[in-house]
Structure 1
Amino acid sequence: MTTTGPEELVVLVSADGHATGTAPKATVHHADTPLHLAFSVYLFDDRGSLLVTRRARSKATFPGIWTNSACGHPAPGEAVEDAVLRRARDELGLDVRDLRLVLPRFSYRAEMDGTVEWELCPVLAGRVPGVVPEPFPDPAEVEEVRWVAWEAFAADVLSGRRSVSTWCREQVAELDALGPDPSAWPKADPADLPPAMTFRSRAG
């Protein structure tokens, strides 16, 4: 007999960020995707290189597209940094240190091949110990990974020389405005997160 785990849910929100309900992650993305909570994280090694990932071609949304280190959805009641740590372990096999909130109010809407992403999607930055540490990506989620120099990556994305996901392109523009050194990006105030999202960690 085959058993399955609990159904993965995402948190639906109003335009002002208050929770309005939940929906199954497996079915929430379609031509009329409701607004929901998500996150993006940018992971750097001890030399300051950024981990970029190519989404698996089997992904329902934006398959085969290069993007930031990882994205995901906090579960109902899950603090966003706990969700990031969980996702980094499950998707990339990486333990993240020094996680900090940098863009608490980021949101976007994007469409590809009739499927819409519409998310309140705060952005965090974190460190993976070592120099060019080796990820162990889940092939169902990630097809390819690379460590790249942040300055060159940002310049190529902003100039259009490098094609990335819609959300990554928009995020890079806002991150670039924080300054050229990711380690010096200021920590944002968690009070600026959507009301349905908390930054209080239970990771221990």
Structure 2
Amino acid sequence: MTSDEHVVLVDRDGRALGTAPKTSVHGRETPLHLAFSSYVFDSDGRVLLTRRADHKLTWPSVWTNSCCGHPLPGEALDRAVVRRLSYELGLAVESVDLMLPSFAYRAVMANGIVEHELCPVYRVTVDAPVTPNPDEVGETLWMPWKEFAEGAQNGLLAISPWCREQVPLLTELGADPLSWQPAGADALPPAARP
């Protein structure tokens, strides 16, 4: 991340309100802003989990879904997913599928720092090795989706708060993550539509 990277601020209806420096929006009064989460799967339906780097401002050292991030102002969300997967995990992906177009959450860390995001969720399939960027990722782990989903929903796995909220919604799409039916881009919030 460059020091001048901006995020898109949004209202409750998902309309863009402007931008703000990324460094200024993660604190005790975090405004709602546009983000994304992605879940990377291999051809066996295993999901790639990542442990956030120890020095991350929000939820350091916590296990979570494959990759999260923020689109740059004017950047399509699917392109942001591709960009961040390359940067954080060294993955070259061709396409991403929109799964949960209107997911949003607010979570507060023990130290009072707040995450407040309108955060559409994407599925990505890969057939390539992962090369984690230590600036972003402390560790990676491939896990069968069924095992991960059950552990996440039963509280047996310590995972990020957004991931804990996303997993039940994803399981509603079906038992096999490779057969989930994508949503159309027209279902995205206005600020995220191409």
Matches of 2:77 and 2:33, distance apart in 1: 13
Q: Is residue 40–residue 126 contact of structure 2 (8 Å, CA) maintained in 1?
A: yes
- Correspondent of 2:86 among 84, 89, 92: 89
Matches of 2:144 and 2:2, distance apart in 1: 39
Q: CA deviation at 1:163?
A: 1.0
Unaligned runs of 5+ in 1: none
Matches of 1:5 and 1:14, distance apart in 2: 25
Q: What residue is the counterpart of 1:41 in the other structure?
A: 38
What's the TM-score once normalised by structure 2's chain length?
0.96
Unaligned runs of 5+ in 2: none
Q: What residue is the counterpart of 1:111 in the other structure?
A: 108
Q: What residue is the counterpart of 1:29 in the other structure?
A: 26
Deviation by residue 1:66-124 (Cα, 9 ceiling, x = unmatched): 00000000010000000000000001101124411000010000011210000000000
Aligned pairs for 1:12-161 (under 5 A) are: 12-112=9-109, 113-129=111-127, 133-161=128-156
> CA RMSD of the aligned region, Å?
1.3
Q: Is residue 39–residue 72 contact of structure 1 (8 Å, CA) maintained in 2?
A: yes
Matches of 2:143 and 2:189, distance apart in 1: 31
Q: Is residue 97–residue 127 contact of structure 1 (8 Å, CA) maintained in 2?
A: no
Cα 1:33–1:6, aligned 2, differ >3 Å: closer, same or farther? closer
Q: CA deviation at 1:6?
A: 7.1
Cα 1:5–1:158, aligned 2, differ >3 Å: closer, same or farther? closer
Q: Secondary structure at the match of 1:170?
A: helix
Deviation by residue 1:10-56 (Cα, 9 ceiling, x = unmatched): 00001101111111112210000000000000000111111000001
Q: Which deviates further from its counterpart, 56-65 or 183-192?
A: 183-192
Tell me if 1:7 matches 2:4.
yes
Tell me if 1:191 matches 2:189.
no
Matches of 1:9 and 1:159, distance apart in 2: 36
Aligned residues: 193
Q: Secondary structure at the match of 1:101?
A: strand
